[in-house]
Amino acid sequence: MVGFLLQFPCSVPAFRSSSTNPLLAATVVSAHSDHSLTTQQNSSHFTRWAAAFPSKSLSFALSATLAISLSLSGIGYAEAKVGVNKPELLPKNFTPVIDVAGFLSEGQENRIAQEITAIEKDTGFKLRVLAQNYPDTPGLAIKDYWQVDDRTIVFVADPTFGNILNFNVGDLVDLDIPRSFWSRLAGKYGNMFYWKEKGEDASIEAAVMAISNCLREPVGPNNCSEIN
C-alpha cells in the first residue's frame, strides 16, 4: 500500500502520507509548496505524505516516528531521526483510537471510535487515530497493530512540530479524496492558534468529523471542496 502524510505531513510502510510531521516517515508532500516527496521502502510498498509544514520540518517529524528509508527528491535529503518502535505502548485490546498523549477524555475516545465504526460500515474506508507527543509513541508498531492497508487513513495528532494534524493516506483513499483536502484540513483545525485556543481534543474531534463528511460525499471534481 502507498500512503501520504499530512499534518502539515507523514507516512509509514504500506501507506501514503499527508501531514505536517516527519512522524510516520516515508514520503512527504508539502501542501504549502506543492512539492512532492516519495519514500521507497525495502518492501514493494511506497508511502507518500502531504504536508502543510515546510518540507524539511515535515520530513523530520515523519522520520522521527516511523522512519524507515527516507528518500526526498526535489527538496533535498533530510537527515532522518531514529525511528520509534514501541509495541509496549499499544493497548492490549484492539481499538481504532490510541491516545498515549492523554489529549482525549474517555467519552471523546468512545465517540470517535463510534464514528470510525460508522465510517467503515458506510464507506469501506478505515480511519485510525493516534494521539502522541514524540518520542512517546508506539511508532512503527501501529502498522501491524492496525493492519494498515490501501483503504486506511492513519491520523496522527502530535503538536511537536506546530501543526497537530498529520495524515497517512492509503492508495485507494488517495484516488477518491483530493490531496488538497488534507492540507486544507490541517490548515483549518491543525494550526497552533486553533489547538492552543480550543485544545488538542477539539482539533482531533473536528478533524475526524471533517474526514467523515468528506468520505461520505459522492466522488467528483468538487468533492471535499469544503471543510465541514
Domains of the chain plus CATH, in order, are 3-216 (3.10.310.50)
* Per-residue pLDDT, 161: 84
* Secondary structure string (H, E, C) spanning the chain: CCEEECCCCCCCCCCEEEECCHHHCCCEEECCCCECCCEECCCCCEECCEECCCHHHHHHHHHHHHCCCCCCCCCCCCCCCCCCECHHHCCCCCCCEEECCCCCCHHHHHHHHHHHHHHHHHHCCEEEEEECECCECCECHHHHHCCCCCCEEEEEECHHHCCCEEEEECHHHHHHCCHHHHHHHHHHHCCHHHHHHHCHHHHHHHHHHHHHHHHHCCCCCCCCCCCC
The string of pLDDT tens digits covering residues 132-179 is: 999 999 999 999 999 999 999 999 999 998 999 999 999 999 999 999
Q: What is the pTM of this model?
A: 0.72
The string of pLDDT tens digits covering residues 100-126 is: 999 999 999 999 999 999 999 999 999
Residue 223 pLDDT exceeds 50: yes
The string of pLDDT tens digits covering residues 32-63 is: 333 333 333 333 333 333 333 333 333 333 43
